[in-house]
Structures are given as structure tokens and as C-alpha cells.
Amino acid sequence: MNDFVIKCGTLIDGTGRPAIHNARILVKNKRIAFIDTAISSDLDNHHIVVDALNKTVMPGIIDSHKHIINNGGSGIGIGLNIKQIKENLRQICYGGVTSVLDLGSADFIRIIPKLSWEQPKLFYAITILTCQDGYPAEYMNKKYYKLGSVKECQTEEDIKKAVKSLFKKGVAAIKTAVVSRTFDNKPQKCWTDKQLQTLTNEAHSYGLKVCAHITYIDDYAQAARCGVDSIHHAAFDGKMYEKDVEEMIKRDVIFVPTVSLCDLTIQGLENEWIYSKNYHPPVNEKIKENMRIFTKAYRDGSEDKPVGDFFVKLSKKEFKKTLYYQMENIKEYIRNGGKVAMGTDSSLGFSLHTTPIREIELLALAGLSNIDAIKASTFTSASVFAKENEIGSIEVGKFADILIIDGDVSNNISDINKIDIVFINGKMMYSKKEHPKTELWSV
């Protein structure tokens, strides 16, 4: 099936344009060859026609902040093994995510696209570049530094060398962190303006975008003024300063709030999902055991002290406040016309590779129209790593990464859950009929 036509009921093309009805899409040699919007079309006589007349057709979802080798639970690398990574990738595809930007992983991630596994298009940053003793030194085991997950740089030369080396490894973006205090409120080493500006200048000279991990309101200003392209995570600790939001928007910074991580984890812990016989996370026993321990620690924990062994040192009270502040910060960014992109930061806590849609629902709840929430999850996500000319919308010339949804997404964003078919490069990666799967929740 290399050459076929999709007859669309509702087409949402991912560019932010309103939905159109009764269009036909011609897919040829992995790409979108033609879109016909005329009332009658020769394409109707094509020898292969996929009938989506009662359905919604939209671009594949692009998750612009993921960690494909992580698996949920309270920490990094719990239950990690090859079988689980393979399962993660399958879950990502079946969930409608056709491209992923992995932001922080070991060097071996470069092998994965070469494996003949069911998987989305995989783009990666590999190494988090940080200053000497900077984030994530406070929690990340040094063995991960050795595997290539983190590189500390001090001099300008160090920074330039590190960026060049990542460019040569084929990264899609540079990941850094701008974090000036630790989880328990102590000062933390962070970039100087000069260092961070060197990093962004150097990355830009190779055509690479810079993604910055930030969680505290005091750090957004520095990232914006030093030329970072996208800021990942809405602030945990309060409402972001108005002038910082203004500056980010003025500089066209893409905001990737990753709010579903907190939302799903609170829901999972409060409602003790892991003890429900109807909850079937597609993870191994070691991870499930960790989820039980995490849940118990939350149940037994006091309101004011950090919960169990969660690597982000939040108390129950702070957990709930974080979700509130994050939502307020997204609303503010949207209200002021800022660009927002979809990223789940999964898998961590109870934000799993199977649950990407929650992030899209929350972006809509924060004020995006359904059409704009889809644009944020497709076209804008692709621009986080400068691939918006290849993927992220249904336009002639682009790769045929397409979802067919058994519902009307323009009216109900949660209908994205009703995925019927997933195409990547015009190849059917998933169809509800042919790929029976265990749902996360049974009734």
C-alpha cells in the first residue's frame, strides 16, 4: 500500500486553518502528493481508497518532550530493559504519536531508529548540556553521565566542543537546563549569561534549536534573554512574571508546559490506580511494584514532607499547588498569544507512553481552541526541533504521518482517544481492526 487515497469526512490539517470537509488526500511514495477539495474528484476512482467519510483526519501527534527509555514510577530508569523499550515504542505508535523528540537519554538511543521495531520517527538530543555541578547533578546518578546523558561544561571551549560533538552525532536539538536552585531550595550552580549565550549561538550556527528545562519562576528571564528557542515545563513554584512571559513571546519562544505529567501522577496517586483491577499499565512487574511503593508512600506521607522516593522532592501539598500554577502559567501564555507545543515528558509517575492525549486535553482546557490544540501538538511541536517543513501538518510534500479518528475532534478534543488508523510515511502502523491491544483501562 504505497499509493492510496484517503476520503476525509473532516480534515484538520495541523496548520491552524479551520477544519474542511470532504477532501481527498493522495499519498504516494511516503508523502502527501495531492489534496483535492473539489466536490467531485478523479481520486475517488483510485484503486485503493481508505474511507474516512464519517471520521476525522489529522496529522500524527508529535511529542516534543519525551524520554522513550523511561517507564513510569518514581524515578529514572526503573525496570529498564530492552523488552520494555520495545513495548514503549509500540505504545507510542499505537497512541497516535508518529514523531518523538527525546530530550535526554543515553548515547545508545542512536541505535534505536536502525532497529526493525514498530516505532515512531525518533529525534533526539541525547545529552543534557549543563554547567559544572549544574542541574541535574542533585539527583542524577553519575553512571548516567558516563552513558552520555549529561555533560558538564565550564569554559567556552568546552561548550563549543560539546555542541559540535552532538551535531556530529546527528542530534535534532540541543537540550540544556536553567535551574538556579535545588528541589530542597538551596542555591544551585547555573549557567552565566555568557555561557548560555555561547551555547545558543553555537547551536544556532549548526542550525540546531535549543530546548531548556526550567521549573522555577526566577529562571525564565535568563533563558529568554540568552536566546533559548523553547522552554520546557511551566513553572512549579508560582505564577511566572509578566515581563518574562512578554519577553518569551516577543522572542518567539515556544512554551512546552508538560503539565499532564503532574496531572496524571496526582490522579494516579490520589485514586490509587495501581491497586485497581481495571488499570493495566503496559509495564513490567518491577515498574508496577515501584508504582505500588510510590502510591503507598503518597498515601502514608504527610502533607508537608516530600513524598516517598520520588526524585522531585515535592510534598502532597506542593504537588497539588504545582498543577495549579502550571495551568495558570499556560493560560497566561495562551492569553497573551504565545506559541505552545505539546510535550508529555513521559514516561514518569503515572504519565505513560499510552497517555499522550491528556496533554492535548489540558492545552485545550487552558484556552486553546480544538484546532489550535491540534496545531500545538503537530505543527508547533515539529518547529521545536526545526522539522516543520517535513512533518507536523497535512500539506503537499510532507511525510504522510496521518491519523484517522473515529470521532469529531473539531467538536470534542477527547475524541482523539478514538484512534482508528495510524500511518507513518504512508505505512499503516496501527489499525484498530488489525492490532488488538489491551486498553489502559478496562470497564
Residue 417 C-beta: closest distance to Zn ion, Å: 24
Residue 66 C-beta: closest distance to Zn ion, Å: 8
Tell me how many helices (H) and strands (E) the chain has: 12, 17
Q: How far apart are CA 301 and CA 287, in angstroms?
A: 20
Residue 348 C-beta: closest distance to Zn ion, Å: 8
* DSSP SS3 for 181: strand
Rule CB under 5 A: say whether 202 interacts with Zn ion. no
Residue 63 C-beta: closest distance to Zn ion, Å: 11
- Nearer Cβ to Zn ion (332/345): 345
Site string (286-325) toward Zn ion, x via CB under 5 A: ----------------------------------------
Which phi and psi (to 5°) does residue 86 adopt? -60, -45
Residue 407 C-beta: closest distance to Zn ion, Å: 30
Please, are residues 37 and 55 in contact by the beta-carbon 8 Å criterion?
A: no
Q: How far apart are CA 231 and CA 233, in angstroms?
A: 7
- Nearer Cβ to Zn ion (87/345): 345
* DSSP SS3 for 263: helix
Residue 125 C-beta: closest distance to Zn ion, Å: 10
Position closest to Zn ion via CB: 345
Stretch that binds Zn ion, among 147-155, 290-298, 308-316, 345-353 (CB under 5 A): 345-353
Residue 231 C-beta: closest distance to Zn ion, Å: 12
- Nearer Cβ to Zn ion (65/339): 65
Stretch that binds Zn ion, among 218-226, 337-345, 378-386, 434-442 (CB under 5 A): 337-345
Beta strands in 60-120 (DSSP E): 61-66, 97-102
Stretch that binds Zn ion, among 19-27, 342-350, 368-376, 410-418 (CB under 5 A): 342-350
Give the closest residue to 199 by CA, choosing from 247, 155, 256: 155
- Nearer Cβ to Zn ion (13/263): 263
User: Which residues have C-beta within 8 Å of that of residue 218, sequence separation ≥ 6?
Assistant: 180, 181
- Nearer Cβ to Zn ion (346/354): 346
Residue 51 C-beta: closest distance to Zn ion, Å: 39
- Nearer Cβ to Zn ion (219/345): 345
Rule CB under 5 A: say whether 345 interacts with Zn ion. yes
Please, are residues 155 and 109 in contact by the beta-carbon 8 Å criterion?
A: no
The partner residues of 279 in beta bridges, in order of sequence, read 441
Stretch that binds Zn ion, among 123-131, 166-174, 175-183, 344-352 (CB under 5 A): 344-352
- What Cα–Cα distance (Å) separates residue 322 from each residue in 64, 239, 319, 332, 348? 21, 10, 5, 15, 16
Stretch that binds Zn ion, among 45-53, 162-170, 247-255, 343-351 (CB under 5 A): 343-351
Task: Please classify residue 161 by burial: count the beta carbons closer than 10 Å to its beta carbon, then call 0-12 exposed, 13-18 middle and 19+ buried.
Answer: middle
User: Which residues have C-beta within 8 Å of that of residue 214, sequence separation ≥ 6?
Assistant: 177, 178, 179, 220, 223, 231, 232, 233, 235
Catalog residues that contact Zn ion under the rule CB under 5 A. 345
